[in-house]
Chains A and B, each alone.
Chain A
Amino acid sequence: EVQLVESGGGLVQPGGSLRLSCVASGFTFSNYEMNWVRQAPGKGLEWLSYISSTFNTKFYADSVEGRFTIFRDNTKNSLYLQMNSLRAEDTAVYFCARDHQNTVSADYWGQGTLVTVS
């Protein structure tokens, strides 16, 4: 069974940093592209960042470019999001999501981890 489990969320002050983790199981993690998506309270989904299976390609939304860094460790089946210079508007539930191969869609999602910047 495919599982994605996020952790690392919590309360942080504006300007602070936080690192989110997502541990994958039930599939060959190194074969899949991965993403981070967030959802502010009562709001819609916002795609944040993408990383290719081989690390070579990374994309970021304009809203987090230069502040957030996506990376992965295929030996640990883990995806990470390093978040710096956090702002109140970064308050959201953060999901990791697996790319559905060759369709530019996300077929498995974690349960999410809440980040509160206040």
Chain B
Amino acid sequence: QSALTQPASVSGSPGQSITISCTGTSGDIGAYNYVSWYQQHPGKAPKLLICAVSDRPSGVSNRFSGSKSGNTASLTISGLQAEDEATYYCSSHTHTNTRYVFGTGTQVTVL
């Protein structure tokens, strides 16, 4: 199972909005509404930001939002803050016996 494709890096200024894309196939993102997004700071465990394409778990800021169109999912961070500087990973369920396939990861830089 190949990893989902994300841009290596995205940057933005404080207060701006940025969007990270996550491209899969008709066998993963396109087939299931089980896309999730994670934030990982260096040396830390990943943190779940978005599940089921667009649901935010309790405690996650509403500055994070998710969507999906066809085989591509997106994470939007609005009102960018310095603390948002981290690596972001998407994941999706797949049609194989793989529970999750993760994206390649996107480093977000706050300018």
Contact = CB atoms under 8 A, between A and B. Distances in A.
Interface string A92-116: 0001010010011111111110000
A69 B23 CA distance: 31
Given A103-B51, A105-B48, A105-B52, A44 B1 contact: no
B88 to A, nearest CB: 11
Interface of chain A: mostly helix, strand, loop or mixed: strand
Given A50-B99, A59-B97, A103 B55 contact: yes
Interface residues of A, number: 24
A103 B34 CA distance: 6
A47 B45 contact: no
A105 B102 CA distance: 11
B103 A105 contact: no
B55 A35 contact: no
Contacts of B81: none
Interface of chain B: mostly helix, strand, loop or mixed: loop
Interface residues of B, number: 27
A47 B99 contact: yes
A47 B36 contact: no
Interface string B56-85: 010000000000000000000000000000
Contact of B100 (A62, A104, A108): A104
Q: Give the interface centre of B48, B100, B104, B105 by most chain A CB atoms within 10 Å.
A: B100
B91 interface: yes
Given A44-B102, A45-B105, A61-B98, A105 B34 contact: yes
7 contacts: A35-B99, A45-B89, A47-B99, A47-B102, A100-B36, A105-B100, A106-B46
Interface of A: 35, 37, 44-47, 50, 59-62, 95, 97, 100, 103-112
Interface of B: 1, 3, 32, 34, 36, 38, 40, 45-48, 51-52, 55, 57, 89, 91, 93, 97-105
